[in-house]
Chains A and B, each alone.
Chain A
Amino acid sequence: MSVTAFLTDSTLCIGCKACEVACKEWNGVDQDGFDWSGFSYDNTGAVGASTWRHVKFVEQPPVPGFGGNAAEPTSWTFSSDVCKHCEEAGCLEACPTGSIVRTEFGGVFIQPDVCNGCGYCVTACPFGVVERNQKDGRAFKCTFCYDRQKVGLQPACAKACPTESIKFGEIDHLREEAQKRVDELHRRGMQDAVIYDPTESSVGGTHAMFIVRGDPRTYNLPPAPEVPTVYLKKSWRSSAVAAGLLLGGTLLAFLADGDGRR
């Protein structure tokens, strides 16, 4: 039993969506409905209650070459998105039922039999991963295939990935692997390859790292995710001041009001 993680390498992803399908198959996740986004081959949009793995399609149209410059062909990159399983997880801290727990593998797991569907975790996730299933009422997200990991299997998405774009393994090992891979990509001339793992933010790193080319914001990966517990101190201080003012003000008002007395 060790602390595990995903490393999703977008430079290897071919956009086959086998991870999405494997995830739905294994976890019995509901269909998303069928609709065209109209601007991309990504017709799903984002991870949610019925999409625990989601392949992002970053499509750039061709640029014609002028003035002796070579034309650039259509660029098409993919990245499989998933719950980040934060080290400091907003959803876990916010959950009022204790339904959301950290597993022995370091993942963040929603116990479906405890969740009461209050929806507070939805507003606490800095990555917009958790969502309330409208039909069922409870909140859902990637389970990190807790059931599979329990019996020594790797998560369904990593197992199904045909190019090993989704790597699964021990977290420290994967961090090294990620660095090695990025160094290699840099050597090959892909200077814009970066690792996305917000260890510097209040989220404190994730159990789902990504290697992407260019600015991670292109993939809707926020540069500075904040776990909402950072606002607690300020809020409760304000709450204490408000309570003090209410108590003092009411006391003063009634003590000063001599006529109101019996």
Chain B
Amino acid sequence: MSEYPLSKMNEQDFARERRLEEIRRQAEKRGQLQVVGPRPAGAPFPQASPEHGYYGIPLLKEPPWTWEIPLYFFVGGAAGAAAVIGAIADYTGADRELVQHARWVAAAGSVISPALLIADLGRPERFLAMLRVFKPQSPMSVGVWTLVGFSTGAAAAAFAGFLRQRYGPSLPLRVLENAGSAASLAFGLPFSNYTGVLIGATTIPVWNRNAGDLPLHFAASGLGAAVGILELMGHRKSRALQALGLGAAIFESWEGLRIEARSHEELDPLKHGASGWITRAGGVLSGPLPTVLRLASLFGSKKRSNSLRRMAAWSAIAGSVITRFAWVHAGHVSARNWKLPLQLEKGADPLGELGRPSDQ
């Protein structure tokens, strides 16, 4: 038998050969195949049947988004909450430095957010196509217009505040600053949580099952991160920030408990496997850990309190980032679950018994 000349094999042939070898190895070792490929004698066969769906091929497509989108969820959430903190701190006459720092955080988010969104588009040069219509029934459309309003307001407030500090107050600057601050507050409130609506109103089971929880969950996550960032910028003495951070952490703890306590098959990706552990890691870092650290920081010396709040800040920020990635990851796992959209039993398996199911 003549060998197939190696020189004529292309990359695709090599890949196929490697895969065949892998399949053979697995078949020899276990007498059963996990990978898709030729069927060794006696191995179970995927089925197309009412119990097994269509060979267990997932009905739903996985979300096509890359890492930019969960990161955008984090940046947007933190920036939106920071804008709200900045505007309220301004109106209540809090420390000017805190106001300006919060505005800078919001302004930075207002630049990074669209950059991340645009980077993820399949056709980045067509970002403006989203600005030709406003569709209230599309959370993505509502979100993009919120982003536009927020970015304009946050950038204007931060810029005008900076100019006023540098060159002294003037009427146009004050008008710009107040208008920007008001806009960043008005748009920052929905901007910090709309991403929860965005993924909640989809066909992905783990997301839409939590449609009522996600916006609250994401808002608390964003608030925790915004407080954390401001504390790391030096505002570790502000009692208002401490209270907000504690509130966000307690809410996140409750949300974590809620995820753990409910048992629906749709929630499995949040509890089992890799996506489950990522969700838990994010949950512990955003909820219980900062709660304990903040409560501990209420007692003891100033120095100890300072370092505990710094730790709580880092924990909340890391928790917020991980939480967003965890939810997106869980969405992928959920989309791959072919049983859910077909309303099949949890135990059903495409590698079922050899032969036709008994009830046919």
State the A residues within 8 Å of B (CB): 35-40, 42, 45-46, 48, 56-61, 63, 72, 75, 90, 93-99, 114-120, 122-128, 130-133, 136-139, 214-215, 217-220, 222-226, 228-229, 231-232, 234-239, 241-243, 245-247, 249-257, 259-262
Contacts and interface: CB of A to CB of B under 8 A. Distances in A.
A126 B341 contact: yes
Given A46-B57, A215-B50, A239-B194, A231 B200 contact: yes
A73 B350 CA distance: 21
B54 A219 contact: yes
A93 B219 contact: no
B84 A247 contact: yes
A236 B53 contact: no
B140 A238 contact: no
Interface in B129-144: 129-130, 132-133, 135, 137-141, 143-144
B249 interface: no
Contact of B243 (A37, A99, A136, A257): A257
B65 to A, nearest CB: 6
Interface string B71-110: 0000000000100110011001111101000000000000
A122 B356 contact: no
A247 B143 CA distance: 19
Given A38-B36, A220-B342, A222-B342, A63 B212 contact: no
B61 A125 contact: yes
B129 A114 contact: yes
Contact of A38 (B37, B85, B138, B238): B37
B244 A250 contact: yes
Contacts of A252: 243
29 contacts: A60-B360, A75-B356, A93-B138, A96-B143, A97-B126, A115-B129, A120-B140, A124-B203, A132-B64, A220-B57, A220-B59, A222-B342, A228-B203, A235-B215, A238-B197, A238-B211, A238-B213, A238-B214, A238-B215, A239-B196, A242-B192, A242-B215, A243-B190, A249-B223, A251-B92, A254-B92, A257-B243, A260-B238, A261-B94
A253 B244 contact: yes
Given A219-B54, A238-B216, A58 B48 contact: yes
A137 B123 contact: yes
Contacts of A40: 46, 48, 55
Contacts of A218: 48-50, 53-54
Nearest to B36: A38
B239 A118 contact: no
Nearest to B131: A97
Contacts of B39: 38-39
Interface string B179-218: 0000000000110111011111111100110011111101
B149 interface: no
B58 interface: yes
A59 B39 CA distance: 15
B45 interface: yes
A57 B48 CA distance: 9
Contacts of A118: 120-122, 130, 140
A239 B197 contact: yes
Most chain A CB atoms below 10 A, which of B16, B65, B215: B215
Contacts of B341: 126, 128, 222, 225
Given A254-B240, A256-B243, A257-B238, 15 more contacts: A38-B39, A45-B57, A96-B140, A115-B129, A124-B202, A138-B122, A215-B50, A228-B201, A231-B202, A234-B211, A239-B215, A242-B215, A257-B240, A260-B94, A261-B95
A215 B343 CA distance: 12
Nearest to A224: B343
B127 interface: yes
